[in-house]
């Protein structure tokens, strides 16, 4: 019987969460998951892969498994199983009881067919498991992933009277906070449904303002919300990923054109005359990062000390330069959020939209572009992060019609936010068991190119 060994690295986290070592042992968890999903027998888990790991603020760990199961009768399929590793068996049982309302709402769900127990605590350890779509804090996910209910939501979003079951795919399922689904039906187009811990009116307000602003930038159309499910609906933005054109380009001209499209998209967002509720700054981001560093300190005091020093250095630069005027920001601008259709850019994923200085988006974009370039250059070779970032910032200055002094000041402010973003990446990488990503972020911080220049 094959056991997959694909698993994140959790060195150092096992001491803080004693049950984590057992939870990440794919061989042991094959039998453990089988006993929890079929306590009285009747099914089998044939393969297990341990996936997304997160060390959480409450001192517990979440982990996600992909399990190849064979139900009674011989049918095989893959099941996504979430796990929460807690302090002891009592805590695991309490966590299980807290998920019972969501499990009750998911009863009879097609994704749970054949499982005797979609929610269970491990009697041999401090662990609770829950089969997708049962997810903590996402109580609307069972309804949102049911093809029949999804068909009703899709028909309503598209203004159709004939509701029929539709295909539901998971487009993006991060470790916490949200899950993005793709609804598809023959001849009806594609709609994205986002289930989150909370639904804000800010993304829809920003998207409507951008659509009405007269720029060529393509953005999703808000198609409504279902408050009781904490679900919002948006149209699809078609196109090819900009990331492929930038990092996989066959010629420098292709990469330059893609970066120009990214800069043009950022300038269009920043020029949009709309005000929303959420506000961010270098100081508010740094305050949040300090709280996260306190969490990292429990498992890696040396890393926490280093990252705290990076925060101090970034804030010194921020104080010396002063913030730029606040306007609309995407909040999570990266080359992966932009698609191209001909010469026209499309920008997606406005979940983190906010008010802030333009440098917030530009620094965020450059940080992730440097990380991607560094990864593409491994295991040996000089990466293209610095020239790519300079080209992007130069194109942005041209589209935003900035003069020389304005441009230099914006670039220095962008460096502040780039450093803060790399600190965030380092923290999240440590919490997620991603040592290679952590090493890239730390090396970029140590090399000094991201720091504000005098």
Q: Which helix (H) or strand (E) holds 305?
A: helix 301-321
pLDDT at 205 (0 to 100): 96
Q: Where are the domains of the chain?
A: 13-131, 141-235, 240-447
* Mean pLDDT, all residues of the chain: 91
Give the percent of the chain with pLDDT over 90. Answer: 75
Per residue, the 3-state secondary structure of 130-198, as one string, reads EECCCCCCCCCHHHHHCHHHHHHHHHHHCCCCCCCCCEEEEEECCCCCEEEEEEEECCCEEEEEEEECC
**142-159 pLDDT per residue, tens:** 999 999 999 998 888 888
Whether the bond into 83 is cis, omega within 30 of 0: no
**355-377 pLDDT per residue, tens:** 999 999 999 999 999 999 999 98
pLDDT at 1 (0 to 100): 28
Query: How far apart, in Å, are the Cα atoms of 75 and each of 69, 122, 427?
Result: 8, 25, 42
User: Which pTM value belongs to this model?
Assistant: 0.93
Structure-token pair, residue 22: 């057992």
**DSSP letter assigned to residue 218:** B
**9 closest CA partner among 371, 431, 441:** 431
**52-89 pLDDT per residue, tens:** 999 999 999 999 999 999 987 778 899 999 999 999 99
Structure-token pair, residue 268: 């269009």
d(C-alpha 89, C-alpha 25), whole Å: 19
Indicate the pairing of strand 127-131 with strand 76-85.
antiparallel
Fold classification of 141-235 (topology level): Phosphorylase Kinase; domain 1 (3.30.200)
Give the percent of the chain with pLDDT over 70. Answer: 95
**245 closest CA partner among 149, 375, 345, 105:** 345
295 pLDDT more than 70: yes
Structure-token pair, residue 256: 């330059």
Rounded mean pLDDT, 380-399: 91
pLDDT at 249 (0 to 100): 64
**392-408 pLDDT per residue, tens:** 999 999 999 999 899 99
- Kindly report the CATH number that applies to the domain delimited by 240-447: 3.90.1200.10
């Amino acid at each position: 019987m094959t056991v997959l060994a694909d698993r994140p690295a959790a060195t150092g986290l096992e001491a803080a969460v004693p049950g984590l070592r057992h939870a990440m042992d794919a061989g042991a968890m094959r039998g453990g998951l089988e006993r929890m999903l079929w306590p009285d027998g009747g099914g089998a888990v044939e393969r297990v892969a341990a996936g997304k790991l997160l060390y959480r603020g409450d001192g517990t760990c979440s982990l996600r498994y992909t399990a190849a199961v064979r139900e009674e009768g011989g049918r095989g399929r893959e099941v996504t199983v979430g796990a929460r590793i807690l302090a002891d068996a009592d805590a695991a049982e309490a966590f299980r009881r807290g998920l019972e309302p969501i499990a009750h709402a998911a009863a009879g769900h097609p994704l749970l067919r054949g499982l005797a127990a979609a929610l269970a605590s491990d009697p041999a350890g401090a662990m609770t498991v829950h089969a997708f779509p049962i997810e903590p804090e996402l109580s609307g996910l069972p309804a949102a992933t049911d093809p029949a209910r999804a068909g009703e939501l899709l028909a309503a979003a598209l203004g159709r009277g004939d509701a029929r079951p539709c295909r539901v795919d998971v487009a993006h399922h991060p470790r916490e906070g949200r899950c993005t689904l793709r609804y598809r039906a023959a001849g009806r187009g594609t709609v994205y449904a986002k289930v989150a811990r909370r639904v804000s009116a800010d993304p829809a307000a920003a998207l409507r303002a951008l659509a009405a602003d007269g720029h060529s930038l393509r953005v999703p159309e808000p198609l409504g919300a279902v408050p009781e499910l904490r679900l919002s609906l948006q149209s699809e933005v078609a196109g090819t990923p900009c990331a492929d054109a930038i990092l996989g380009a066959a010629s420098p001209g292709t990469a330059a054109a893609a970066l120009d499209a990214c800069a043009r998209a950022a300038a269009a967002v920043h020029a949009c005359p709309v005000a929303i509720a959420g506000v961010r700054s270098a100081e508010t981001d740094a305050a949040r990062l300090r709280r996260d560093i306190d969490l990292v300190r429990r498992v890696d005091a040396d890393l926490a000390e280093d990252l705290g020093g990076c925060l101090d250095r970034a804030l010194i630069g921020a104080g010396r330069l002063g913030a730029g005027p606040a306007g609309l920001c995407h909040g999570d601008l990266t080359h992966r959020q932009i698609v191209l259709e001909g010469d026209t850019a499309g920008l997606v994923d406005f979940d983190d939209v906010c008010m802030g200085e333009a440098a917030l988006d530009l620094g965020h974009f450059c940080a992730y572009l440097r990380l991607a370039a560094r990864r593409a250059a491994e295991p040996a070779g000089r990466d293209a992060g610095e020239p790519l970032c300079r080209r992007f910032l130069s194109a942005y200055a041209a589209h935003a019609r900035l003069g020389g002094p304005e441009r230099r000041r914006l670039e220095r402010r962008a460096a502040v936010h780039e450093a803060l973003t790399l600190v965030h990446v380092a923290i999240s990488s440590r919490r997620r068991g991603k040592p290679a990503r952590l090493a890239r972020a730390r090396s970029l911080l140590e090399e000094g190119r991201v720091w504000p220049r005098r």
